[in-house]
Chains A and B, each alone.
Chain A
Amino acid sequence: MLSFNVVITISLCYVAILFMVAFMAERRAMMGNATWLYSPLIYTLSLSIYCTAWTFYGAVGYAARSGLEFATIYLGPTLMMIGWWWILRKLVRIGRAQRITSIADLVSSRFGKSTSLGMIVTVISVVAATPYIALQLQSVTLSFAVFAQSNGQVWRDAELNATAMWVSVGLVIFTVIFGTRNLDANERHHGIVMAIAVEAVVKLVALLAVGVFVVWGVAGGPSEMLTRIDASPITLWDHNGGRWISLLFLSAAAFICLPRMFQVLVVENADERHLAIASWAFPTYLMLMSLFVVPIAVVGLDLLPTGSNPDLFVLTVPLYQGRDGLAMLSFLGGFSSATSMVMVATIALATMVSNHIVLPIWLSMRPNQQAVMSGDIRHVILLARRLSIAGVLFLGFIYYRVSGGGTALAAIGLVSFSGAVQILPAMIGGIFWRGATRIGAAAGLIVGLTLWLWTLFLPSFGADAMISQSVFDDGPFGLNWLRPQALFGISGLDPLVHGILWSMILNTGTFIVGSLISFPAPLERLQGAQFVNIFEHSAAAPAWTNAAAGAEDLLIMAQRIMGSTDAQAIFEREAIRQGKKGYLPEVTPAFVELLERELAGSVGAATAHAMVGQLIGGSGVSVEDLIAVADEAAQILEYSNRLEAKSTEQEQTARALRDANAKLTALSIQKDAFLSQISHELRTPMTSIRSFSDILRDGEVGGDAQKRYSGIIHDEAIRLTRLLDDLLDLSVLENGQVMLNEQTGSLSALLDRAIGGAGLLGSNLKIVRTPEVDDVTITTDLDRLVQVFINLIANSRKYCDAQHPRLKISVFDRGSHFYIDFVDNGSGIAADNQQLIFEKFSRVADGSKAGGAGLGLAICREIMRRLGGDITYLPGQYGTAFRLRLPKKKMKNALGEL
């Protein structure tokens, strides 16, 4: 006999193992050597969260109560997977192209990035998922209770509730740790996916083991088993056609509408081709899961005393037979089924709640730019997600308490399914019908939600719990035609069929009629074309035209949401694409679109659109939008999309030509300017030298004046020499004749050397460093690198105009490169000058203060090029900021390119 403590210990060990698996997967993914995490096998196994505790325990109970009807729950998804080409492929493609974060985001994004639709879908999803989560808590709790009972304890409500609560708390912790690591909801949760893949295997093995034991161990072989099945009442072909069709539809639709399924199918999908493999592999998994359901149900009914809960046969049959090990395995299978479902469901729901309810409210409370520029959005989002996870589980726990945990598992599951499928018309209509509008979708969803609440959800608590028996019998306020299980006077239908039939018919009908009589907004039309014709053209339509925002503002906002590394990468990539240097690309409509999509990956399409809108300040309606509205026919809209792509192209060509022309002109002017600059820089000190030597030669002054004038001559001569040195240095560097003296040394020692050599004596500039990070070894021309460091530190000393000047030097290890950032707290450099400062003789500040000729940064740039890296101005740091990029590899390659 398994002692209860052993069961608890084994469960905790199992959780610890899952924890380690998840942790290692995260680690591997972070280190970048985890291609196996992206395999079709993992994808298929992650889909198995469809098989929850309901499927694990409940299917047998279902079979014991209603015979073969349980098979519909497996057949629905199977049909959906086999027909993946039509619906799933499209969903996955759209999900990737539009960086969709959840099913609420999909619907919101399709219908013009509508905030209200996102909220409605989120509400439906949360309400529908609540019973389902309660169901998982219930099954885990019941299975613990079985062990307690087999130890002679009798669990009452208090023990059951305490167990359910501890399970909830544990799940919150696990999910928060692995589900909110990445802010970007569009990114994959490797740890969780790996953990549920392991759990998928455990539950399959457990169920097969119990099945094998039942067939060969109890019944005595397949043929004996078949005889038993034939004799059993559950195989009587007592089927109800309406129920079969409804259930088939329900499970197929729920397969794509359930937030957690959408999460694993679309959001966590790494490669569209995985769908093709999953299309046969996942039905195979389902087939194996269902293989022994009937034998276990039949044997359970035969063996166990009447009145035993058939929902627990998978567990009680082995226990009854004294197979403790098998019972334990079965317990872990059920435990896996429940926990994996809850984790993914809460992540999906938390993303939806934070992106579609919390953030829009938070943003609307801060109606100006302040919200996106200064508030710490990342923290708000992460906190919102964590609280949502706890909130969703708490709701599940409350439902469990209120419903009393008494209802059969399968019945609760079906109520959940039928809630989630209310999203189906808006979703399918949205991706296949361009005429669908936001008004139609919202109306359909609200009608569907209302009917579902009235006919299925509220009655699920049982008579007199939420709805009194008299309302069941006579309707509310005596309105007979509103009876929850006999709407419009149609009685005699199975309650489930009745609820699904009415809610789906009225939901779809309202959606269609609402779409036909309302007129889509411009953005809706464009998004509609994008979604419906995803396979024809993947180019996104620009949503913003009068882009007045500075690139720097957008960068600051993006950094706050995505973190500086990712944001800077996006901006830099775009700048390179546009043929520009640095981190500030031109704010073209195409770039704003791209940025909006990237942000949508973190905060959802509607919020990203609103945030960018606050900065851009444009109306959001472009000329293209207006053309689209004017042209009713769909072909014309497409034509205008193509035209617009062309005109963008022409604009780009024109810009490239203008740039080339400007470059040519600049080159010829540059030579003149350079000579004239050198002349100026040489003649100025020369003038002082000549004048003062004249004065001294005349012999008119003596004493202190004489000393002073010869001092000036001396200083100016040194200034001349330094200038000539710099010029020669620059010329050598530019011509590539420089000999690099490659050595290996400690970066931190080099920084020490540079700080010593930057003439900080008597200056109040404070240097801030992070010694634990900059203690790395590098191989490069160390003296040249120190020269660059000294230049940057000296610049900060000269130009940083803060009251308490401070220069922060940070080192980052970025795979193939080190990044070394020099950021001070001065007033920074205006965007116009950020490129200019690297040019020879460019001095943004007052020349006399600088005491140099404006060659320092030009020399730095040349040195960094020679070392195979570069130096760029880093905007958006609230001060003057430079970033050095230094390759870890040997310099030779870098030189070879030059």
Chain B
Amino acid sequence: MGKRVLLIEDEPNILEAISFILSRDGWTVHTHEDGETAMQKVVGFPPDMIILDVMLPGRSGFDILRDLRGTDTTKDIPVMMLTARGQEKDRELALRLGANHFMTKPFSNAEVRDNVRNLMEA
């Protein structure tokens, strides 16, 4: 497929794991670790899909999502959110803000792969 996914996540080990999973599935994976500059990164390089962690240094994933949905060039990019807090209200908030999918850590590799595939097909 060769499609581009942008992975915004600050834990280096998780970055490496997801990169491995998605590369194997044919994605070109780009990564970004900082919340504050994430928006600029997305706008300067519109990916086909974004995987966004909630707890990022500098700026929360929810705030970034709100901006993504409020910006013309990015409002249609599918976003999958990741969180380690695992609270129901986080899921609700993410979906209300316009996330296409929400995953709680930890997850199996198959889950990640399948959810990303589903989002691209939808």
* Chain A interfacial positions (CB closer than 8 Å to B): 676, 679-681, 683-692, 694-695, 698, 700, 712, 716, 846-848
- Flag if A686 contacts B87 (CB, 8 Å): no
Complex contacts, B16 vs chain A, CB 8 Å: 712
Question: Contacts A680-B55, A848-B11, A848-B12 known; A687 to B84 CB distance under 8 Å?
Answer: yes
Q: A676-B85, A679-B85, A683-B106 are in contact. Are A688 and B55 (CB under 8 A)?
A: no
Residues of A within 8 A of B17 (CB): 687-688, 691-692, 695
B100 interfacial contact with A, CB 8 Å: no
State the Cβ distance, B103 to closest chain A Cβ, in Å.
Answer: 10
A-B contacts, 9 of them at CB < 8 A, read A683-B104, A688-B17, A691-B20, A694-B109, A694-B110, A695-B17, A695-B21, A695-B109, A698-B109
Instruction: Tell me if A684 and B109 are in contact (CB < 8 A).
Output: no
What per-residue 1/0 map shows which CB atoms of B78-95 lie under 8 Å from chain A? Answer: 000001111100000000
Q: Which residues in chain B, 1-35, are within 8 Å of chain A measured between CB atoms?
A: 10-14, 16-18, 20-21, 24, 33
* Complex CA–CA separation, A39 to B87 (angstroms): 70
A687 touches B20 (CB 8 A): no
Q: Which residue of B lies closest to A684 (CB)?
A: B84
Nearest opposing residue in chain A for B11, CB measure = A684
Asked if residues A687 and B10 are in contact (CB atoms below 8 Å), the reply is: no
Q: Which residue of B lies closest to A681 (CB)?
A: B84
Out of B12, B24, B84, name the residue touching A680 (CB < 8 Å). B84
Contact of A683 among B18, B84, B110 (CB under 8 A): B84
A847 and B58 alpha carbons, distance in the complex (Å): 11
Give 1 or 0 for each of B93-112: 1 = CB within 8 Å of chain A CB. 00000000000111111100
Q: How far is the CB of A35 from chain B (nearest CB, A)?
A: 59
Contact A691 B106 (CB under 8 A): yes
Q: How far is the CB of B110 from chain A (nearest CB, A)?
A: 8
B70 within 8 A of A: no
**Given A676-B87, A679-B85, A691-B17, is A847 in contact with B106 using a C-beta cutoff of 8 Å?**
no
Are A846 and B57 in contact, CB atoms less than 8 angstroms apart?
yes
Partner of B14, one of A676, A688, A694, A700: A688
* Cross-interface CB contact of A679 among B11, B20, B84, cutoff 8 Å: B84
User: Measuring CB to CB, which residues of chain B are less than 8 angstroms from any residue of chain A?
Assistant: 10-14, 16-18, 20-21, 24, 33, 55, 57, 83-87, 104-110
Question: Closest CB of chain A to B8's CB: distance in Å?
Answer: 14
Give CA–CA (A866, B101) in the complex, Å. Answer: 47
- Asked if B11 contacts A694 (CB within 8 A), the reply is no
Q: A676-B85, A687-B17, A690-B108 are in contact. List 15 more A-B contacts (CB 8 A).
A: A676-B86, A676-B87, A687-B11, A687-B106, A688-B13, A691-B17, A691-B21, A691-B106, A692-B13, A694-B110, A695-B21, A695-B109, A712-B16, A716-B13, A848-B11
| Chain B: CB-nearest residue to A676 | B85
Task: Give the chain A neighbours of B110 by CB distance below 8 A.
Answer: 694
- Assess whether B86 is in contact with A848, with CB atoms less than 8 Å apart: no
Give B112's nearest chain A residue, CB to CB.
Answer: A691
Expressed in whole angstroms, the minimum distance between the Cβ of B22 and any Cβ of chain A is 12
Closest Cβ neighbor of A672 among chain B residues: B87
Which of chain A's residues has its CB closest to B33's CB?
Answer: A848
Known A-B contacts A687-B84, A695-B109; A847 and B10 likewise in contact (beta carbons under 8 Å): yes
